[in-house]
Structure 1
Amino acid sequence: MLARRREIGDQIRAARLHANLTQEAVALRAGMTLAQYNRIEQGHSSPLLDTLIRIADAIGVPLAHLVREEPRPAP
């Protein structure tokens, strides 16, 4: 689970940087504290779906863009 949270955090960070936004700007737009947002981006927190939707809206990307998984090769 921790690895998947970190992957989502990495995707959130990449989308934020692509949008040229700071963590503070996204947190403000999403209605959360900078500390809350930072924990999500670092993969240390498990956000609710509503929170992920607010983050996606704050960055200006579809929710699926933040949580999609890359296909993994079959074993």
Structure 2
Amino acid sequence: MPTDPLPDWVPLRRRAIGDRIRAARQAAGLTQEGLAHAAGLDRKTINRAEQATHSPRLDHLLLIADALQVPLADLVQT
């Protein structure tokens, strides 16, 4: 069970992951809608991941990485 509240570094790293997803999406020339379609997800899911308003599910990160044709490690590196 996660601590409540989360340590400060958790939302910072979640934000960094969102920034990497956005950068990879833009480098691929995709809109959030385009990435959502390619990944089989809802645009809101992509937006939430990029904005770091919610913790993305591992399954969603895997689908996003696959749609962007980048290794998952590139998105979640610390």
What 5-or-longer segments of structure 2 have no aligned partner? 1-9
Match of 1:42 in 2: 51
Q: CA RMSD in A?
A: 0.9
Please report the TM-score for the alignment, with normalisation by the length of structure 2.
0.82
Runs (4 or more) in structure 1 with deviation over 4 Å come to none
What 5-or-longer segments of structure 1 have no aligned partner? 70-75
RCO (CA 8 Å, sep 6+): is it higher in 1 or 2?
A: 1
Please report the TM-score for the alignment, with normalisation by the length of structure 1.
0.85
Q: Does 1:28 align with 2:27?
A: no
* Count of aligned positions: 69
CA distance in 1, matches of 2:61, 2:28: 16
Percent pairwise identity: 55
Deviations 1:5-64 (A, max 9, x none): 100000101111111111111111111111111011111111111110000011111111
